[in-house]
Amino acid sequence: MKIATWNVNSLTVRLQQVVAWLNSNPVDVLCLQELKQTDEMFPKEVFQKLGYHAWWRGQKTYNGVAIISRLPGDEVVGELPHLEDPQRRFLAVTVQGVRVVCLYIPNGGELDSDKYAYKKQWLAALFQWLEGEYGRYPRLVVTGDYNIAPAALDVHKPAMWEATPIFSPEMQESFRQMLAMGFGDCFRTLHPQEVQYTWWDYRLGGFSRNQGLRIDHILASPAMLSGLASCVIDKIPRGWDRPSDHAPVVATFE
């Protein structure tokens, strides 16, 4: 099974890019973040024509997540049960016995801001929910834009980012807390020392200078990790005209 994650930074703007990418990369499951469109605007018919089922949680202007799959799914959950949150950042679907979770974790603003407090509250609710899911679903994959760079290897200038909610020591510890549940970071499992990024700022030639962050991740339970064959970051779409600032990440499980 091939599972991919991609923050598209507006599905309305980049729908044709997603379609083109799927035609060249026919993954089994694609998790999308930052739809930036209401539920009514979601292009269900476009994905159906490509042979995909779809589940989504949209929101005007900001946020929004979706999971599309070649196989039917069930056990859909669209809200974290331990958090009252109007922001659409979470979706889970079971596909052929694999529990797939799509996350758009909050950015966090500044370390002394309400947005950072919200990020920590959101993560606490996520961890509480994942602990239950981990026991119920041996085959569990948690994908998405985490807005967390786990280590210095994942940041082009660590000293510049340490005082931000992306790379603060507290957020690095939160990522380690997820790994301590038993998950493995698919990319880092296969590429322990490789420097690659999934996000590059639009400003100051971030992509052309390869000044980025690895903040989009696919984490997998041991039952899935044992069959992990590859995990790649596809930088090609980041070089397209009017691209998302994120690149897709694709994990292949045998």
Q: Which residues are catalytic?
A: 104, 145
Q: Which helix (H) or strand (E) holds 232?
A: strand 228-233
Q: Which two tokens stand for residue 65?
A: 């997540």
3-state secondary structure of 138: coil
User: Burial level of 44, CB count in 10 A (0-12/13-18/19+)?
Assistant: middle
Nearest alpha-carbon partner for 61 in 27, 12, 4, 118: 12
Q: Which two tokens stand for residue 107?
A: 């950015």
Q: Outline where the chain has alpha helix (H).
A: 11-24, 44-49, 114-136, 158-161, 169-180, 186-190, 222-225
Sheet with 228-233: list strands edge to edge. 53-57, 65-69, 29-33, 2-7, 249-253, 228-233
Sheet with 73-77: list strands edge to edge. 73-77, 90-95, 98-104, 140-145, 216-220, 184-185
